[in-house]
Amino acid sequence: SSSRADLSTELEDILAISDSSLHHVEDATEMFNIPPRQPVYFSAPFFAAWFFTNFSLLFFPIYLLGLVSTRKCEKLSDILGDVLRGFRERGFTVGRFLNRCLCFCILWLVTTYLYTLSLHVLYATDALALFATNVACVYLLSWVILHEQFVGVRIVAIILCDTGIALLAYMDGITESRTLSGVVLATLAGAGYAVFRVMFRKVMGDPPVSQIAFIFTALGFLNALLLWPVVLGLYLTGTESLTSESIPWNLLFAASLLLLVFHVLMQFSAAVTYNMFVTLGLITAVPVSGALDVILYSANFAGMKLAGVILIGIGFFLVMFPANWPDYITRLLRSIIMLGHNASGRPALCKRDAIVTGPSTRYAQRHITRTHHIS
């Protein structure tokens, strides 16, 4: 009994010591006011957009590196002189050129900001699919502003893209998430990029690759030189948080380089391949991004969201149809009919073929008679 009493006394002493130590730790925490460590999140979309746009400075140096590597005899001063001479011949003064570049710089920055801001709400796949609708906006604006040829199938493509946007906007009620603001922002980003492309053609025309590279370098220079006070103002007002711990420099540099590669391919594609192939790369990136979202973030693409993305993809491909697509289909049908006739062993030209090819009836009968005489 005495040993049990001693054991209980020791246990009481241990509990008292631990309780006393716990109270001392709590008192010390309150005394020094040590806050618990909270995770730091990056929330500065305008700074990110401004940082991305600064990398446009590298457009002309990249062009020079490619040009010098292929034509080593040409001097840098000669290349720059040819570019400036081309602008002067097209009637651009220094003031007019800088004024146009500043307008394009602001439009480019706003478009990048809207797309970056939409990523706070949407998955990358949703934002990318909505941004891909810019091809429909480009055709609509080109038809109105640049007076391009009217193509009925492209109007159907615009309707499909708008329907896909509406389905993605209705995800709020189905998935019980607040995604409407992100859908609006990503759609506005696509529309802004379409306005940039059409107005660039309207104001700058169809310049060679060297002048395009120089223009985008001027955009990056004006962005870094003139628009940094906006970033500073947002930081001072507390709208955006810019601390050394919150800025993911590695991700920012990686995203900037990848975005630069994307825009370099988009702008320089005419010198390498057809622009249509590069544009198709935008929509083919949607399923790849969807797979990554499912693997990394357990995203669920079903119902109205999946239907919206599919409709946008169909509309995208319809916009890519050439203006004379009925002629291609007619030629394809003619080739199929001719192959069918050759396979069956019948004459290649018969009455049905004459009707399909569309000449007058008298000419068709004469042609058929001549064919039978020859055979």
**Pair (138, 153) in one structural domain:** yes
Show the tokens assigned to 93: 């003064």
- Is position 28 within any domain? yes
Q: 248 and 290: one domain? A: yes
Judge if 201 and 347 occupy the same domain: no
Is 76 found in the same domain as 17? no
In a domain, 308, yes or no: yes
Q: Is residue 40 part of a domain?
A: no
- Name the token pair of 177: 């998430």
Relative orientation angle of helices 249-268 and 275-297, to the nearest 10 degrees: 150
132 shares its domain with 152: yes
Same domain, 185 and 203: yes
Question: Does 239 reside within a domain?
Answer: yes
Measuring CA to CA, which residue among 341, 362, 344, 336 is closest to residue 370? Answer: 362
Same domain, 268 and 131: yes
Residues 193 and 245 in one domain: yes
120 and 18 in a single domain? The answer is: no
pLDDT tens by residue, the chain, 375 residues: 555 445 455 445 544 444 444 343 344 334 334 444 555 567 889 999 999 999 999 999 988 888 777 765 567 777 888 888 888 888 888 889 999 999 999 999 999 999 999 988 888 888 999 999 998 899 899 888 988 888 888 888 899 999 999 888 887 655 555 678 889 999 999 999 999 999 999 988 888 888 899 999 999 999 999 999 999 999 899 888 888 777 888 989 999 998 898 888 887 776 666 667 777 778 888 888 888 888 888 888 877 888 888 999 998 888 887 777 667 777 878 888 888 777 665 554 444 444 444 444 444 444 444 444 444
Rg of the Cα trace of the chain? 32
As a whole number of angstroms, the distance between CA 298 and CA 316 comes to 26
127 within some domain:
yes
25/49 same-domain check: no
Q: Is residue 169 part of a domain?
A: yes
| Residue range(s) defining the domain that contains residue 29 | 1-35
Query: Positive or negative CA dihedral for 55, 129, 189, 142?
Result: positive
Question: How far is residue 158's CA from residue 139's CA, in Å, rounded to a whole number?
Answer: 9
Residues 340 and 235 in one domain: no
20 and 107 part of one domain: no
Distances (CA, A) of 113 to 71, 237, 343: 38, 18, 60
Task: Show the beta-strand stretches assigned E in 211-337.
Answer: none
Number of domains in the chain: 3
